[in-house]
Structure 1
Amino acid sequence: MPAAATMAAAGLGLAVAGSCATVTFSPPAGRRPAGDQPAGDQPAGGLPATHDLITDSPITDDPDAAVQLPSVAAALAAVGRALPGDIRVVVLRGDIWSALRTPDRAALNGADLAPDAVERRVAEWQAGFTWLSARADLVSVAVAAGPVSGAGLQLALSCDLRVLTEDAVLSLPEASLGLVPGLGVTAMLVTLVGYPTALDLCLTGRRLTAAEARAAGLAQRVVPRAGLDAAVDDLVAALLAAPREAAAEAKALLRAAATGRGRDGALAAERAALARCLAGYPAG
């Protein structure tokens, strides 16, 4: 399927302006993403009215209303292949962060559930995410507002940098469903927040506010919703101000220092763990 058709099927749009490409996600018609509440629905504590991300997450929502990971991963992989060579910054934004459904066994669509077959399917999903930070010639930026949960948070963590609104709430509830965050982010999560905090987040599914995420190193900018576009524009301009060759060399050095030689091993371990969970976890 051509890249444009693959992207359209997943609700993704691509716009290029100079050396910056913006991938924008629009949810299926009629579905309001979790946390997209009218202003009057915001409680005094600043959390969205749908702040219980374990129950409100599309992981446990109607699967027909949620966005399925396989189509999004395929579309993002197509974006990576289709980007012009002069692109230096990729911005991901829209309503994907709480709408992207973490896969359960139903996502396999009746496919072979042998562990090696499921690992191959998970590898395809990982490939749609991991290029966002693996390529030294690109800097990727996730721009998120409101709830950021499950596979949506894994997608945000796959990017180099994250810009959050002040009402953003982050969580990884996979363990409560008998799953693991297996889309390529566990090694980076440990690098960013340390092993004890990463273990806490993955096993308890506890929520982090945007301020907590910034303090932990998961977010690089936290801004009011009204200032989100300006903050993203300023960040993109600052990233593009560095000469291309120097920026690529710096990213390659820092990425190697952060991940060491264990990235491929970490991806393989994630695939195997998620494949085992998916093969034994009941559909729905």
Structure 2
Amino acid sequence: MTSPDNVLDKDGVRLTVEDAIATVTLTNPDKRNAQSPALWRALTEAGRSLPGSVRVVVLRGEGKSFSAGLDRQAFTPEGFDGEPSFLDLARGGDAELDAAIAEYQDAFTWWRRNDLITIAAVQGHAIGAGFQLALACDLRVVAEDVQFAMRETSLGLVPDLTGTHPLVGLVGYARALEICVTGRFIGAAEAVGAGLANLSVPADELDGAVRDLAGALLAAPRDAVIETKALLSGASVRTLDDQRTAERAAQGRRLRDLAGLSD
């Protein structure tokens, strides 16, 4: 292993790369890694800054909480320095408001790229936008003190940072509805049992467990992993016949590649 290279460090986000593993760290523990538009832009930039050699991305938060969600300063009249407040955005036109939310969502979408496997290492609070950021990743390893909650509906809002799709996919419509509307907390045992988390470990073992998982994910050939992720991620929207067709096409590509016949 080489020493990690610091690729980006701004607005509460640090990206480091060590061989085939990148780590994205939320770096504002004093505010429990509360999120802001500047942080979302930095997350989007982190995704665009990944070297092509990266195969696994680990997302983590410094301090006791993964992310306590949106910084409430966004709802004050003054908002953030140099940023329109959410109240200002609400007073603007529909197109401008839609474009602003779409830009925020970009920070939550690149984690699903087929050429990456992404792991959220989650401890303490992961609330609202923090919960949705964890849901943006392919896999979640949680500390035993984790507390997930989707609080947007309780505040008169909706989860709009791409979290509703993976939540329904993981736990089903009825449980997702109950989680969102009640805004209740979900601990580690329930998260693992419901499929929200792959593994729960003591807090002091979280980093080690994630390193072990990342190493295991790197064991398989990269192209086979990319094809497998694409098959699995698209399975829910394909018919059985379409999935069979996709499997045949993917396997054909793999066999030709192994035989040295690929383009």
1:234 paired residue among 200, 207, 212: 212
Q: Secondary structure at the match of 1:255?
A: helix
Q: Structure 1 CA distance, aligned partners of 2:120 and 2:130?
A: 10
What is the aligned partner in structure 2 of residue 121 from structure 1? Answer: 100
Does the 8 A contact of 1:88 with 1:137 survive in 2? Answer: yes
Consecutive unaligned residues of structure 2, counting only runs of 5 or more, are: 1-5, 240-263
What is the aligned partner in structure 2 of residue 12 from structure 1? Answer: 13
Does the 8 A contact of 2:124 with 2:147 survive in 1? Answer: yes
- Match of 1:78, as an amino acid? E
What is the aligned partner in structure 2 of residue 101 from structure 1? Answer: 70
Spell out, residue by residue over 1:211-252, the C-alpha distance to the aligned partner (whole angstroms, 9 max, x if none): 100100000110001211220111000110110000000001
CA spacing shift, 1:259–1:202, aligned 2, 3 Å: farther
Correspondence 1:165-176 to 2 at 5 A? 165-176=143-154
Spell out, residue by residue over 1:14-35, the C-alpha distance to the aligned partner (whole angstroms, 9 max, x if none): 111110000112116xx263xx
Matched, 1:257 2:235: yes
CA spacing shift, 1:67–1:167, aligned 2, 3 Å: closer
- Match of 1:16, as an amino acid? V
CA spacing shift, 1:116–1:9, aligned 2, 3 Å: same
What is the aligned partner in structure 2 of residue 197 from structure 1? Answer: 175
What is the aligned partner in structure 2 of residue 79 from structure 1? Answer: 46
What is the aligned partner in structure 2 of residue 243 from structure 1? Answer: 221
Return the offset for 1:148. Answer: 1.1
Q: Structure 1 CA distance, aligned partners of 2:231 and 2:207?
A: 30
Q: Structure 1 CA distance, aligned partners of 2:21 and 2:92?
A: 40
What is the aligned partner in structure 1 of residue 36 from structure 2? Answer: 69
Q: Structure 1 CA distance, aligned partners of 2:108 and 2:179?
A: 20
Runs of 4+ deviating beyond 3 Å: 102-108, 258-261
Q: Structure 2 CA distance, aligned partners of 1:191 and 1:260?
A: 14
CA spacing shift, 1:251–1:242, aligned 2, 3 Å: same
Q: Secondary structure at the match of 2:67?
A: helix
CA spacing shift, 1:32–1:128, aligned 2, 3 Å: closer
Q: Structure 2 CA distance, aligned partners of 1:98 and 1:245?
A: 33
- TM, length-normalised to structure 2: 0.78
Matched, 1:158 2:136: yes
Q: Secondary structure at the match of 1:190?
A: helix
Q: Structure 1 CA distance, aligned partners of 2:131 and 2:26?
A: 14
What is the aligned partner in structure 2 of residue 26 from structure 1? Answer: 27
Spell out, residue by residue over 1:25-51, the C-alpha distance to the aligned partner (whole angstroms, 9 max, x if none): 2116xx263xxxxxxxxxxxxxxxxxx
- Match of 1:208, as an amino acid? I
Does the 8 A contact of 2:143 with 2:201 survive in 1? Answer: yes
Between structure 1 and structure 2, the one with the greater Rg is: 2
Q: Secondary structure at the match of 2:59?
A: strand
Correspondence 1:28-67 to 2 at 5 A? 31=30, 33=32, 67=34
CA RMSD of aligned residues (A): 2.2
What is the aligned partner in structure 1 of residue 122 from structure 2? Answer: 144
- Match of 1:119, as an amino acid? D
What is the aligned partner in structure 2 of residue 213 from structure 1? Answer: 191
Where relative contact order (Cα < 8 A, 6+ residues apart) is larger, the structure is: 1
How many residues of Structure 1 are paired with residues of Structure 2 in the alignment?
222
Q: Structure 2 CA distance, aligned partners of 1:121 and 1:164?
A: 31
- TM, length-normalised to structure 1: 0.73
Q: Secondary structure at the match of 2:232?
A: helix
